Amino acid sequence: MSTTHTDRGAPRTNAPWGWTDAHRAQEIAVIGATGAVGRELLELLVQAGHPASRTSTFARAASTIDVAGVEFAVKPMPAASALRAASLAFLCTPSELSLALAPELVAHGVRVIDLSSAYRLAPDVPLVVPEINGRELERSGLLISNPNCTTAILCMPLAVIDRLAGLEEVVVVSFQAASGAGLPGLQTLAAEAREAVGAPATGPRPKSPFAAPLFFNVIPAIAEVDDTGISGEERKVIDETRRILGRPDLVVEVTTTRVPVERCHSVAVHVKTKRDFVLEDIIAALEASPGVAVTRDPHGPRPRECAGADPVYVGRIRAGTRGTRSLCFFAVGDQIRKGAALNALQIAARLRAAP
Ligand SMILES: NC(=O)c1ccc[n+]([C@@H]2O[C@H](COP(=O)([O-])OP(=O)(O)OC[C@H]3O[C@@H](n4cnc5c(N)ncnc54)[C@H](OP(=O)(O)O)[C@@H]3O)[C@@H](O)[C@H]2O)c1
């Protein structure tokens, strides 16, 4: 494993992420436990010292999964009323399921952190990246929404630049990993890679969640493209970036692409600021920001080396050519961690543990 991405000494992980004995006393339900995000969340809970005996896991069917050496008995999802003993439920589920389930759980007094897109734009539901707008949790109800993975990663450096120089315009191209489409995405990429090198298949091939073969390819749209030409993923990045940064009028131009990378989303970002800045001040502010790691590697950061790490890595930081207020950078974050499970755990850790 290369060390270039920790060349400023940022730790790869901040486990146990503020998870205290009070948090460990809570009964937790992880719904969608067998998926890419659910499994990662279970792994983080294990690392944070949450007892497996206080962790219930649900999916469509019963199974047993081994996560970080701990066996979890997954149960078929029961009626929401059967979960009323849980203090906290993480919904690592498709948005149609979250849409129905979240209000039912809340009605039974269960605090819910939803990782789907179902409630991200609901005005009365906070959409939170703790390092940026964690204060919104102080007045939240029982339902909290976790952002889109690309958006969370993008907003980590953008929030720092906004504080220092004021953002006027953001132009971004994303390079999104196969696992952003969950386990079927990861399994599809692996199956295509085996096929490309003539290796035997290791099992039944899943139905591909992608619009085209991904291996040896780049797909320049994620999710459906609407009649204005904007993809569903691009709409999420625009709307959620504005909401998380508290900048409803921010100009955000985005193209989201799917690339044959297993894990970690990357973004190439070009911003214009409202005020002049000194480049070294921006770099110093990024270095000082929790959850952000700056690399001076001229060929980094790269998804392979960032996989499994907590921070959003930022590199290629340079002045742009569009006047004194233009800045360019490249950022990479593990979208299953900071773009999903880790951010959700950080939200839960910021909340006072429910009795
Ligand atoms: N992957 C990412 O990078 C990422 C990042 C940010 C947010 N998200 C969001 O997080 C959520 C989970 O994504 P994922 O990538 O983990 O997807 P995934 O790998 O496809 O997993 C989906 C999970 O939901 C469960 N599920 C589906 N329908 C269900 C039902 N009717 N009842 C109970 N459980 C059901 C599945 O269980 P079975 O075993 O029964 O199939 C599985 O555990 C999605 O809303 C996604 O948009 C994903």
For residue 303, pLDDT over 70 is answered with yes
DSSP states along 150-185: HHHHHHHHHHHHHHHH-EEEEEEEEEE-GGGGHHHH
Kindly give the distance from the C-alpha atom of residue 31 to the centroid of ligand 1, in angstroms, as a whole number: 9
HSE of 213, CA atoms in CB hemisphere, 13 A? 9
Query: Distance between CA 355 and CA 341 in Å, rounded?
Result: 23
Q: What are phi and psi of 20, to 5 degrees?
A: -100, 175
From the list 5, 92, 149, 306, the catalytic residue is: 149
Could you report the per-residue pLDDT of 9-41, keeping only the tens digit for each?
Answer: 678 999 999 999 999 999 999 999 999 999 999
Task: Decide whether any atom of ligand 1 lies within 6 Å of the 37 Cβ.
Answer: yes
Closest C-alpha residue for ligand 1 atom 31: 60
Could you report the per-residue pLDDT of 88-107, keeping only the tens digit for each?
Answer: 999 999 999 999 999 999 99
At 204 the pLDDT is: 82
Choose among 150, 154, 203: nearest CA to 179: 150
Query: Distance between CA 86 and CA 40 in Å, rounded?
Result: 20
At 34 the pLDDT is: 98
In whole numbers, what is the pLDDT of the chain averaged over residues?
Answer: 95
The more confidently predicted of residues 139 and 153 is 153
Confidence class for position 109, pLDDT limits 50, 70, 90 = very high
Residue whose pair of structure tokens reads 């099992």 in the numeric block = 203
At 7 the pLDDT is: 52
Tell which one of 30, 93, 95 to mutate to probe ligand 1, the residue whose CB is within 8 A of the most ligand atoms: 93
Establish whether 5 is a catalytic residue.
no
The number of the ligand 1 atom at minimal distance from the alpha carbon of 40 is 16
Find the helix packing angle between 182-196 and 36-47, rounded to 10°.
Answer: 110
Establish whether 92 is a catalytic residue.
no
Residue whose pair of structure tokens reads 């060349």 in the numeric block = 7
For residue 275, pLDDT over 80 is answered with yes
Average pLDDT over residues 175-197: 97
HSE of 270, CA atoms in CB hemisphere, 13 A? 10
